[in-house]
Amino acid sequence: MFPQLVAGPIIRFQEVADQLQQRTCTLEKFARGAAFISLGLAKKVLLANSCGKVADLAFNAGSVETLEAWAGVVAYSFQIYFDFSGYSDMAIGLGLMLGFVFPKNFDSPYISQSITEFWRRWHISLSTWLRDYLYIPLGGNRKGPLRTYVNISLVMLLGGLWHGASWNFVVWGAIHGTVLTFERTQGKDSIYRLLPAPFKIALTYVIVLFTWVFFRANDLDHSLSYLGSMLGLAAPQEGAALLAGIMGQPYYLLCMAASAAIIWCGPQTWDFTRKITLPKLAVIVFLFWLSALVLTTQEFNPFIYFIF
């Protein structure tokens, strides 16, 4: 199943078993698959790579000003989302062109109102795999509250180690596991549920940003140093003004603004391609042409998830 073999989405045999034996290859599927590939390529080349430059500037600079530190981790959150959702779109598109229908892998994760909801929307094929092959076999929520909390924490720790054998990923998984456990203890009558949706979305996104620091930083010391910069606890090094000037270039600001608009206001690829009208076709063709043009000016920049 080469369309998704290298880095996902995680396709289980039972999801494609019937399709391997019998499937339909139609012009509509082929066209939608081509649209998925075009939009996925645009996510990677136009948005993920550009936001990645901003993230690299911040994370590779050592100690930075607070504003630049926040801009760097926001840029990384955009980079990793568009990088992997773009790859998933391209894998889904390749499958559609061959008649296969793969499940959705991302469902607007940054509009989540809790970390629990975030994991229902982020890398869906991985989170459901962890649920079905780790959480449920460990007992799930069938052996009492305490065992449930232990199972959640253990699954997230193992999920962190799945990405790499380093303390950064252990801490990343531990934070997510701790917040998931806390949310589980609150139940359905939590006061948090009464808060305005925009506040809950913003709070969830900020928590995710703090965890992305451990995902992006080189090691644990680097992670803690960067968090110190975000919280205004670290003295910036010389050249901070120059760094701010580079990160504030109009092209980078435009890419960041476009990324934010698409994440919080734009349609998902899954919905955008359900019916391809002439205006949508024009957008898809233009983005493919622009992506191919920009790609010729960029250096080798593999998908992030190829390293895990």
Asked whether residue 136 falls in the same domain as residue 182, the answer is yes
**Residues 6 or more apart in contact with residue 235 via CB below 8 angstroms:** 63
Which of 99-103, 163-167, 211-215, 235-239 ranks highest by mean pLDDT? 211-215
* Residue 249 token pair: 């270039």
Q: In terms of pLDDT, which residue wins out, 187 or 267? A: 267
Instruction: Tell me the pLDDT band of 63, cut-offs 50, 70 and 90.
Output: confident
Closest CA to 35 of 251, 269, 233: 269
Place of tokens 């396709």: 11
Asked whether residue 166 falls in the same domain as residue 228, the answer is yes
Asked whether residue 139 falls in the same domain as residue 189, the answer is yes
Catalytic pick among 123, 163, 176, 222: 163
Asked whether residue 101 falls in the same domain as residue 246, the answer is yes
Q: Give pLDDT tens digits for 111-130.
A: 999 999 999 999 999 899 99
Instruction: Tell me the pLDDT band of 191, cut-offs 50, 70 and 90.
Output: confident
Asked whether residue 159 falls in the same domain as residue 274, the answer is no
- Number of domains present in the structure of the chain: 2
CA distance 170 to 172: 5
pLDDT beyond 90 at 192: no
DSSP assignment of 188-199 equals TT-GGGGS-HHH
Q: Which of 194, 216, 233 is the last residue of a domain?
A: 233
Asked whether residue 119 falls in the same domain as residue 229, the answer is yes
Asked whether residue 133 falls in the same domain as residue 228, the answer is yes
Report in angstroms the alpha-carbon separations of 21 from 14, 17, 24, 93, 209: 12, 7, 10, 20, 43
Asked whether residue 290 falls in the same domain as residue 229, the answer is no
Q: Give pLDDT tens digits for 72-97.
A: 999 999 999 999 999 999 999 999 99
Mean pLDDT of 289-307: 81
pLDDT beyond 80 at 236: no
Asked whether residue 227 falls in the same domain as residue 112, the answer is yes
| Range list of β-strands (E), 169-283 | none
Amino acid at 15: E
Q: Is the Cβ–Cβ distance between 84 and 303 less than 8 Å?
A: yes
CA distance 42 to 266: 14
Closest CA to 86 of 120, 52, 60: 52
pLDDT beyond 80 at 262: yes
Mean pLDDT of 48-77: 90
pLDDT beyond 70 at 239: no
Q: Report pLDDT for 6.
A: 61
Asked whether residue 84 falls in the same domain as residue 120, the answer is no
CA distance 277 to 256: 28
pLDDT beyond 70 at 202: yes
* Residue 232 token pair: 């205004």
Closest CA to 51 of 283, 289, 297, 258: 258
Q: Report pLDDT for 61.
A: 82
CA distance 92 to 156: 26
Q: Which of 215, 233, 251 is the last residue of a domain?
A: 233
Q: In terms of pLDDT, which residue wins out, 46 or 233? A: 46
Q: Calculate what percentage of the chain has a pLDDT beyond 70.
A: 94
Domain extent for 77: 1-106+238-308
Q: Which of 175, 200, 233 is the last residue of a domain?
A: 233
* Residue 244 token pair: 């701010």
Q: In terms of pLDDT, which residue wins out, 189 or 67? A: 67
Specify whether 163 is catalytic. Answer: yes
pLDDT beyond 80 at 304: no
